[in-house]
Structure 1
């Protein structure tokens, strides 16, 4: 394996050369695209699947919920697997399970079988992101991590850009089975590239045993919280027992896990003492708050184009392409310009751009100004491109190499809770706004405007939190 002239730390793989790092980014990006593309494709096809199987929308929603719960349940296991098996073995296992789930989902004969195979898919998907972050951190090192995460984010933007478009095209013009079979070439390419590019585990003789008690507390805790939040999306009010009971149970189990972890953090499934690191804690808070700003907007935008503008699924997907292009443009052309900008200013600037790109959607009068909305999406995409990679890199940049696997696991757990929590709150705001909107042609635009204003208002919190980052927090290219 090619290496730089920097000495390697004992018990850890050496940092790779810039050329090898580029190959690593491509290998990880191709594999990650599969899970990202799949989630965006299936989300737009729930109504069609309900018609295909002759079931209710609530029952069909389990195709998404089962995937999400399985993905959440397996995340706590990822850190132990990376420590025990190595990054490459964990990565190929994740892609292999996701590949099998995709093929079987494409061959499903009824709704229960599809839900079961989607659960298998979710188990693979839950391991993909933590393994990807750990491998990237080990290959890039602290000095190049911010730039490397930006390049990787550029690749995985293909999922959000193509997902709604491809999903709409497959739903309207092809067999529904291709919603899942489309993942096959990405999985196969990712597995081949992983064997060629990613380094095998270097055995340092230290294999951590599985914290069975921690897993028994943490996995059900996360599943319970996500399940409660998904019930709000399914139409239950926040005061419903189906919402607050699992959420309360989940947080009680989380509290028990924290107490268990504090007894001996080095042997725990996740060492909660990682949150003593200031940058790690702030990054976790930022990823939770991005659920209201970034993910909340991603929820509203396709609905806005379909319900306010009357666009079809394919048209809505095409209208969202400028957002992905905005992220790509910033990452490509501002890469060198941003290389010496501290992480705090990248993140603050990113959230400001997201807010500026969201504001035009809050005015009912702009609903027919296509050019303004497209420009706004480009600006919003630039904000996502500036802020998201910086938050992900910041989460592990200050951790010792021995803690990277558990650090990425802890960060992804926080992310798994933050994204659905934020989008659920925004969905509740939208639902109530629609209920109080005037029954006129401008009513839907007014309701969405209220939800978009809330999304903009929530941007103040991550901007304030980012100001707490250490001033010296900076990555060199």
Structure 2
């Protein structure tokens, strides 16, 4: 076996032009991802402000997610047809316009409608950003460029609660949306000046049949999945009916997708072995880890009685761990391939989550924060290297379609993971008669006064045990993720053409 030297692109770092493009893309990604977690903190405020129940207010999250699911499948075709620069600026305009309208909402219905508009813009920002960056960097530097893009993806769930909690406490709920206006305007000006000139290919026909099957199918399926935590079971009519209709429409799309020359989502990409491995790995990883991540602030809020701002700060070690490993992982993936990097990252995640399975109502914060730091280190070496593995073997023309597919996979898997972890936790809390009253007593002294001596401590202990069980489910899924990740190449792979298998270079 002969050693193949790194190509010149892999040997040199990112030049100033690519870094400037990355700055524009990261700015848009920060807005889109932060907005999801910032709004989740504001749900109790919306209940009070608009006099609505939690089920109605939760639609400010669900509507945004469904809008994302509807528009993401269109992004690959639209990027080829109109050009990535024009579409990226349009996505920023829609997102900022939706944000300003959200800040002026007069009732919960108007807020939900404006969140949908915001989601239409936000849904395009990430796949477009991935396409723009991978084209600018070239296949041999995708790992490093994806590491930059991964920073807002991992820091969003951490920074969102901190920023949202501070704004709601110090300013007003309107500012969680208005903050996007100055950032968005800067992003538009920078995109217009810095992003490379468009080279659209208007010859491709649009797959109308695919759109009518995939977009509503994906939206209905995710609506059913996102209803599971509220219903408390997957057997509810509200869950089963939309999930079943959505699954049928998606299955019909799969049957249809191999017929047109230019389908809405090109499933022929699955002929690429490395992309297929990445899709399976990302699916299992997102279900396990993204769902568990959303529960970690809840542990600090519900079991430990911390404020929203304090809970956000306590989750920060996770982001610090990711920031430590992500740049290194990106560089190593470009030089050696994703195999060893992703497997090592998954081991760190499994160890960190394993510690959290033993969490109690009074576990030392040194232990908890140390586990979160380990998790962050693992996530920094797993998520974006997996994305890199999917895209680095595609030709320039197929990058837009590949990034669209990976974003759909991540969105669906994250929604499933959130639902699964929420149902497991809710079921465990319901098994204890004291858990929910003890959690409620953290913010309501009247409830605490009505509970017998020792009941609150026992209830919080039961609640912590429920979180531990939920993290155990996540650990099992992370261990399963090691199986597809083991098929990643352990050496540098050559860039492959459309529909080819990614094979190691010997």
Scaled to the shorter chain, the TM-score interval is: over 0.9
Query: Structure 1's 21 and 47: CA in aligned 2 closer, same or farther, altered over 3 A?
Result: same
Contact 1:31–1:189 (CA under 8 A) maintained in structure 2: no
Q: Match of 1:442?
A: 461
**Are residues 1:167 and 2:150 paired?**
no
Give the match's secondary structure for 2:381. Answer: helix
Give the match's secondary structure for 2:203. Answer: coil
Give the match's secondary structure for 1:39. Answer: helix
**Are residues 1:454 and 2:445 paired?**
no
Q: Match of 2:440?
A: none
CA distance in 2, matches of 1:475, 1:118: 42
Q: Match of 1:226?
A: 222
**Are residues 1:465 and 2:473 paired?**
no
Contact 2:91–2:121 (CA under 8 A) maintained in structure 1: yes
Query: Structure 1's 16 and 75: CA in aligned 2 closer, same or farther, altered over 3 A?
Result: farther
Please report the TM-score for the alignment, with normalisation by the length of structure 1: 0.92
**Deviations 1:259-302 (Å, cap 9, x if unpaired)?**
111113x2211121111111111111122112232202212101
Shift of 1:156: 4.9
Contact 1:144–1:475 (CA under 8 A) maintained in structure 2: no
Query: Structure 1's 17 and 342: CA in aligned 2 closer, same or farther, altered over 3 A?
Result: closer
Shift of 1:192: 1.5
Moved more, 356-365 or 133-142: 356-365
Q: Match of 1:31?
A: 28
Alignment of 1:133-144 (within 5 A): 133-144=130-141
**Are residues 1:400 and 2:419 paired?**
no
CA distance in 1, matches of 2:319, 2:169: 23
Shift of 1:472: 3.3
CA distance in 2, matches of 1:474, 1:153: 22
CA distance in 1, matches of 2:404, 2:154: 22
Query: Structure 1's 342 and 333: CA in aligned 2 closer, same or farther, altered over 3 A?
Result: closer
Moved more, 88-97 or 328-337: 328-337
Structure 1: gaps (5+ residues):
8-14
**Deviations 1:361-410 (Å, cap 9, x if unpaired)?**
21144743011111111111111111111111122111121111112112
CA distance in 1, matches of 2:118, 2:18: 28
Q: RMSD between aligned alpha carbons?
A: 2.2
Q: Match of 1:97?
A: 94
Query: Structure 1's 339 and 413: CA in aligned 2 closer, same or farther, altered over 3 A?
Result: closer
Q: Match of 1:240?
A: 236
**Are residues 1:352 and 2:347 paired?**
yes
Q: Match of 2:321?
A: 326
Q: Which has the larger radius of gyration?
A: 2
Paired positions, count? 463
CA distance in 2, matches of 1:296, 1:220: 24
Give the match's secondary structure for 1:234. Answer: helix
Shift of 1:172: 2.1
Shift of 1:470: 3.1
Alignment of 1:8-407 (within 5 A): 18-203=15-200, 206-264=202-260, 266-332=261-327, 340-365=335-360, 367-407=362-402
CA distance in 1, matches of 2:417, 2:135: 31
Give the match's secondary structure for 1:239. Answer: coil
**Deviations 1:213-263 (Å, cap 9, x if unpaired)?**
110000011001100001102224211111111111111111111111111
Contact 1:344–1:473 (CA under 8 A) maintained in structure 2: no
CA distance in 1, matches of 2:35, 2:64: 11
